[in-house]
Amino acid sequence: MSRALIVVDVQKDFCEGGSVPVGGGADRAAAIARLVRRSAGHRYAHVVATRDHHIDPGSHFSDHPDFQNSFPAHCVAGTEGSAFHPDFAPVVPEAVDEVFYKGAHSASKSGFEGAAEDGTSLADWLRARGVGKVDVVGIATDNCVKATALDGVRAGFAVHVLLDYTAGIAADSTDRAITELRRAGVVLSGEPVVLG
């Protein structure tokens, strides 16, 4: 079985200067771009990316967000904030095999809830290419990275989160996420950036 890299939500709105910034997000965007450039086609048979792509996600957008299930408006389809971070964007046409859009009409934290432009789910896309192992990186450790990793395990993949290539919203929620991931059987390595 081959291994794929899943890059989660490395978008402008989740990095410094965005509408829901995660401390260290921009630094991680640059680090992930370097990882993809040196590993695509070598360590990884495939590289995919997920994007928050909100149209009308209901209560996921809130004027009084709890920053767990509700957030200020972010990654609205067609806006500048929904674009990939400029340090990561150049590697997308170079080395990313597919982009999976999630959350048009829901919160949709997990990349496994997303679909490619042709409607193919992430799990189906990976299985069709013989992928059995996935490494997960991106933003945020304690939100969409966690949800993607947990859904990857549920879908039957061997999941490894590279914490050195993630950024967390807050220390306490990142610690809880790491504990939850370990209990689910996710392999973890490195340390996340947490500047919140």
pLDDT 10s digit of each residue in the chain, 196 long?
A: 899 999 999 999 999 999 999 999 999 999 999 999 999 889 999 999 999 997 887 777 677 877 777 777 778 889 999 999 999 999 999 999 999 999 877 778 899 999 999 999 999 999 999 999 999 999 999 999 999 999 999 999 999 999 999 999 999 999 999 999 999 999 999 988 898 6
d(CA 14, CA 98): 20
Q: What is the dihedral of CA 144, 133, 37, 124, to 10 degrees?
A: -70
Which pLDDT belongs to residue 62? 77
Q: Which two tokens stand for residue 106?
A: 């829901």
Residues serving a catalytic function are: 9, 102, 144
- Roughly what angle, to the nearest 10 degrees, separates helices 171-183 and 146-154? 10
Which pLDDT belongs to residue 64? 80
- Looking at the DSSP bridge assignments, the partners of residue 84 are 11
> What ranges in 40-71 are assigned the alpha helix state H?
none
d(CA 136, CA 108): 17
Q: What is the dihedral of CA 1, 150, 124, 25, to 10 degrees?
A: -90
Q: What is the pTM of this model?
A: 0.94
Place of tokens 């928050």: 52
